[in-house]
Structure 1
Amino acid sequence: MNGDEARPGPLCLVTGATGYIGGRLVPELLDAGFRVRCLVRSPSRLRDHPWAREVEVAAADVCDADSVDRAMEGVDIAYYLVHSLGTGRDFEKTDREAARVFGGRARAAGVRRIVYLGGLTPQGVPERELSPHLRSRTEVGRILLGSGVPTTVLRAAVIIGSGSASFEMLRYLTERLPVMVTPSWVHTRIQPIAVRDVLRVLVGSATMPEEVNRAFDIGGPDVLTYRDMMIRYAAVADLPPRVILSVPVLTPGLSSLWVGLVTPVPRSIARPLTESLRHEVVCHEHGIEEYVPSPAGHPVPFDEAVRLALRRVREARVTTRWSSASLPGAPSDPLPTDPGWAGGSLYSDRRQILVDAPREALWRVIEGIGGDNGWYSLPLAWAARGWLDRLAGGVGLRRGRRDAQRLRVGDSLDFWRVEEIEPGHLLRLRAEMRLPGLAWLEMYAEGNGDGASRYRQRALFHPHGLLGHAYWWSVSPFHAAVFGGMARNIARAAARYESARQEEHRTAR
């Protein structure tokens, strides 16, 4: 174990810290003054989190009583945020055994409270008729409530936030299919909840009175069908209205295959989620308000929750996950540890090449790109793209650049805008041409020793709707010539610049 031992406050044990909710809960607990210990099987998976050095880490498996015993030492509140969804057919058995171990070891360690995030279940439906996913979540909650440790079970339906499997399924279905033939479960009523509200209630549950040992329904202010959510997502994302036709013939298995064809969400996760969508999941009580009252503006309405989940894209910024930066973000934002299919589609073209010149010479060429210096590949193609952009009402290539040698953040550069610059290392440009999506171009200069350097180049495109995907695939055959040629010619220009500089130096001597 390691971490900041001097941090005051009760000690919280967070299981599932590498998961969607756990990874976002930890910084919220730290901000609230708690100490945090993360129980993970692979501690190395925490290293990309910006808060990794502020927590203790316990390497343990929730099914291994001995390792859980060690992780429970001195713990005041234990958050149970793990489940075996997507790991195989025996996930119900695995979840049952893990819950029994966790509850028993928490009681033996004198833990004051267990907080568990489960699933919202339909009222009046026998447990045996629930989907395996919801049935398992219900059983785990019951085991923890009977553990002898005061337990808060929070039952939520669809969580709205970038990285949530349910939200990502909604995102991809809506963005990729302007016309949909859907299963009948699109008419099932659901009460979604913003991830911000889930985290707020999770943190607030840590201070519940000792006598509280019960389950609470939690949800947002809107009760919607899945069809309603797709239509409203499209409106918030500025997509054309979606045409949604439902048919009764798609079984849960066929539904998951359909979802798998349209979205990158793994079938092992999509199937239990789609099976659960046949049940109406609406809050039937609001007892949580007595213990964790909602502040002004909460719970967050559905449209605002979607807007927050799309916030990084709306601000036209490369997201944390996309840029591989370890920057703290809002709870609705992607994290570096989210699965590759989370955060929406992002296409990329990557190039790198060794340069026979030092990094300083390479950076000189990178910073001088555009304007009269051009873009180092197929000038006619770049000119044609500029003409097409002007015909579509865009800025084209007419803006040039402010200074022939130097760039600064905010400068216009032909039909790009300088979004970020790290002198001597990184130039990131955001496209301002007319596109069915958002695009960036990144250029890196890196030292490679012995007077050489390495040039790295990355073109990124976040498509907007089906037209955005079609655009990327229509132009990708030309990337080898455009972007590949650009990388090669920048490397050659840097070598020529360095050769001329050395010749000038010799002549001066």
Structure 2
Amino acid sequence: MPLTLVTGGTGHLGQDIVTRLVREGHRVRVFARSPQADTDVEWAIGDLATGAGLREALQGVDIVINAATYSPIARRGGVRPMDFFTSPSAVDVEGTERLLSFCSAASVQHFLHVSIVGLDEATLPYARVKLAGEQLVRRSALPWSIVRAMPFYYLLDKLLAGLSWLPMWPVPTTLFNPVDTSDVADHIVQCAFDGGRGERPEIGGPDDLSCTEFARQYLDARGMHRKILPMSLSERKARGMGFVVSHGVRGQMSWADWLRGQYPAARAAA
């Protein structure tokens, strides 16, 4: 049975990918800075940003799912002024380049890279870093696949939570369809083993809603009362900020259902 290495396997998406691989009976090795308690997988210890442990982690590996990334905005759950000027590239660019090189030396049969919908028009530094890493994959001689996904619900939740101290929320009116990591994981695992290669169908959530509607549903789920100030953005500016609608595969989990799972007590008290 082929051995699959997952980078970023301890992140939100990575954990869902690993869970699905194990559930379907695949042999799984997770590349991480430190091992976790999951005994259903092999643990390879190292760091994509430095390359430590990477050569050893790839021994005997047939398929690589590269779900590793480093987004300061996602980690802190908020935007700071520096995010409009710079974003670290050690994982997403140098790390991807290093990983591709080691995969080639290890004769990996399929390299599946997780990316983001709308990168070609996005202007934020993190998006430009992600696009640079994706372009490295496209130029690789390895058999590769790229799956672009919309931003995840958990990140939208963190960003909205970061506004909770404000009495009024300025929110764009543009349409958006973020997605749950569980749906993205299902799509990625399918793409990893269906024999296809190249640019694969992108994936977004089931509902095309305005950002203001996402915010309203969030406030309802949390039992919070804030005034939403709708902001109109030009299509060019919205796309530059990553506010797009994916027209590929659609996930099944809606934002409303995700919120019900996250905040049942708040809804019961409302």
The bucket for the TM-score relative to the shorter chain is 0.7 to 0.9
Corresponding residue number in structure 1 for 2:160:
170
Counterpart Cα distance in 1 of 2:203 and 2:225: 30
1:141 matched to 2:112: no
- Aligned pair in 2 of structure 1 residues 102, 74: CA closer, same or farther (>3 Å)? same
Contact preservation (8 Å) 1:122, 1:280:
no
Corresponding residue number in structure 2 for 1:105:
102
Counterpart Cα distance in 1 of 2:267 and 2:213: 24
Provide the TM-score with structure 2 as the length reference.
0.80
Equivalent position amino acid for 1:20 in 2? H
Corresponding residue number in structure 2 for 1:442:
none
Shift of 1:155: 1.5
Equivalent position amino acid for 1:243 in 2? K
1:281 matched to 2:244: yes
User: Percent identity at matched positions?
Assistant: 25
Residue number among 23, 31, 46 corresponding to 1:39 in the alignment: 31
- Aligned pair in 2 of structure 1 residues 276, 186: CA closer, same or farther (>3 Å)? same
Residue number among 228, 238, 241 corresponding to 1:244 in the alignment: 228
Q: Aligned ranges for residues 84-483 of structure 1 at < 5 Å?
A: 84-86=70-72, 89=86, 91-92=88-89, 94-121=91-118, 125=121, 130-160=123-153, 164-173=154-163, 176=164, 179-182=167-170, 186-209=172-195, 212-235=197-220, 237=221, 239=223, 242-246=226-230, 278-284=241-247, 286=248, 298-308=251-261, 310=262, 313-314=263-264
Deviation per CA, 1:40-61: give whole Å up to 9, x if none: 1223xx13xxxx1121111122
Contact preservation (8 Å) 2:145, 2:200:
yes
3-state SS of 2:61 partner: coil
Corresponding residue number in structure 2 for 1:61:
47
Counterpart Cα distance in 2 of 1:188 and 1:122: 17
3-state SS of 2:187 partner: helix
- Aligned pair in 2 of structure 1 residues 188, 213: CA closer, same or farther (>3 Å)? same
Shift of 1:63: 4.0
Deviation per CA, 1:404-458: give whole Å up to 9, x if none: xxxxxxxxxxxxxxxxxxxxxxxxxxxxxxxx799xxxxxxxxxxxxxxxxxxxx
Deviation per CA, 1:272-330: give whole Å up to 9, x if none: xxx9883332214x2x5xxxxx7xxx52333223323x2xx42x5xxxxxxxxxxxxxx
Counterpart Cα distance in 2 of 1:226 and 1:59: 39
Equivalent position amino acid for 1:146 in 2? R
3-state SS of 1:216 partner: coil
Uncovered stretches (5+) of structure 1, i.e. residues with no partner: 1-8, 249-274, 289-293, 317-435, 439-463, 466-509
Shift of 1:100: 0.7
Counterpart Cα distance in 2 of 1:90 and 1:300: 30
Deviation per CA, 1:439-494: give whole Å up to 9, x if none: xxxxxxxxxxxxxxxxxxxxxxxxx79xxxxxxxxxxxxxxxxxxxxxxxxxxxxx
Q: Aligned-residue CA RMSD in angstroms? A: 3.1
3-state SS of 1:39 partner: strand
Contact preservation (8 Å) 1:231, 1:241:
no
Provide the TM-score with structure 1 as the length reference.
0.45
Equivalent position amino acid for 1:169 in 2? L
Computing the radius of gyration from Cα coordinates, the structure with the larger value is 1
Shift of 1:243: 2.2
Contact preservation (8 Å) 1:234, 1:240:
yes
Corresponding residue number in structure 2 for 1:15:
7
Deviation per CA, 1:324-375: give whole Å up to 9, x if none: xxxxxxxxxxxxxxxxxxxxxxxxxxxxxxxxxxxxxxxxxxxxxxxxxxxx
Contact preservation (8 Å) 2:32, 2:47:
yes
Contact preservation (8 Å) 1:92, 1:132:
no
Equivalent position amino acid for 1:117 in 2? V
Corresponding residue number in structure 2 for 1:76:
62
User: Which structure would you say has the larger RCO, counting Cα contacts within 8 Å and 6 or more residues apart?
Assistant: 2
**Large movers: runs of 4+ above 6 Å:** none
3-state SS of 1:53 partner: coil
Shift of 1:196: 2.0
- Aligned pair in 2 of structure 1 residues 216, 53: CA closer, same or farther (>3 Å)? same
Uncovered stretches (5+) of structure 2, i.e. residues with no partner: 76-81, 233-237
Matched positions, count? 254
